[in-house]
Amino acid sequence: MTHPASPLSLGPDQARTRLQEFTVIDVRTPAEYASGHLPGALNIPLDHVRRALPEIRHAAERGDVLVVCASGARSENACKLLAEEGIATATLAGGTGAWAAEGHDLHTPAACETRSAWSMERQVRFTVGTLVLLGLALGLLVHPALLLISAAMAGGLVFSALTNTCGMAVVLGKLPHNRPRAADLDAALSVLRTR
């Protein structure tokens, strides 16, 4: 079995100079997308990429596709998934974080300009930290066996680092504020069909 090659990775300046040539797909959650995205980016969260394969394939047949996320990890995973399906894409090295750090504009939908959203990384850090503290408090105040909550969180962090996956992000991605509304996803797929 052959494995697809690593996706082409473009730095923010490289991507900016060619931005008009790309169909840009942002694989972050809708809340993250709403907090700021590359100009013209379409939001197709990572867990919906398989559903969007026909539309992404259609767009890729007509031009280059750039996949972005917050740091580059989810977009690289999306690019690998798409490569397995025979769809060539590029990823933005460092994601929207690197894009903004180099002084490039991020756009926000008009309806979301006053809404603040936490990145998935921040949501994961908050949740894991809360569960570690809760496990420590319950272990000291209720029963020592409850310290296993903290141990499980530590084990999950190690597993996450070793596999470059994040189960907590998958779970948090299913919360209502992180889920795309059907109309938003359908609109993004419709735009891809017309590319």
Give residue 165's pLDDT.
77
- Tell me, yes or no, if 69 is annotated catalytic: yes
Residue reference for tokens 């891809």 = 192
Which of 118, 150, 145 is CA-nearest to residue 134? Answer: 150
Please give the single-letter amino acid code of residue 164: N
Distance CA 56, CA 91 (A): 14
Choice among 11-25, 76-90, 103-117 with the minimum mean pLDDT: 103-117
Would you report the helix, strand and coil content of the chain in percent, each value rounded to 5?
A: 60, 10, 30
Give residue 195's pLDDT.
73
* Candidate list 69, 79, 112, 166, residue with the active-site label: 69
Q: Which long-range contacts (CB under 8 A, 24 or more apart) does 181-186 make?
A: 181/30, 184/30, 184/43, 185/43, 185/44, 185/48
The chain-wide mean pLDDT, for the chain, equals 86
Confidence of residue 189 (pLDDT cuts 50, 70, 90): confident
Q: What tens digit of pLDDT does each residue of 85-122 get?
A: 999 999 999 999 999 999 998 888 665 444 456 777 88
Give residue 121's pLDDT.
81
Q: What tens digit of pLDDT does each residue of 116-168 get?
A: 567 778 888 999 999 999 999 999 999 999 999 999 999 999 998 888 778 88
